[in-house]
Amino acid sequence: GIFVCNHFCKPAQGLLSPVIAPKAQHNDGSLDLILVHGSGRLRLFCFFIAYQFCWHLLLPYVEYVKVKHVKVRPIGKTHNGCGVDGELILGEGQTEWQCSLLPAQGRLLGRHRSASE
């Protein structure tokens, strides 16, 4: 299976927290996609254990790419849905899901560093 991860910037918990997509930037105009090739619970479990130690991107079956848009197509024997960001999106006969980054559709809240000094 493929594990599709939403855009993860640096976490707010602290500098020692693991970052799933360390090259992610909020203003680079791209989505960060992590692909876990193969299938099975053991492989996905190993990915999450490696993530806790910040070496998940070193696994031979993990690929990290920056994209502008992505299409997800179910293959083989799959359920009628796709899990995205913790939510199940039902397929209802749909053959694929598409995710695109729309420029200027979101704003990062906060002040510029020089404004807080």
pLDDT digits (tens, 9 = 90+) for 74-85: 766 666 677 666
Q: Is the dihedral of CA 51, 57, 59, 63 positive or negative?
A: positive
Give the range among 11-15, 27-31, 42-46, 65-69 with minimum mean pLDDT: 11-15
> Does pLDDT of 108 surpass 60?
no
β-strand partners of 62: 36
Strand partners, 34: 64
Q: Show me where the domains of the chain are located.
A: 31-116
pLDDT digits (tens, 9 = 90+) for 43-89: 888 988 898 888 899 999 999 999 888 887 776 666 667 766 677 77
The residue with tokens 């598409």 is: 98
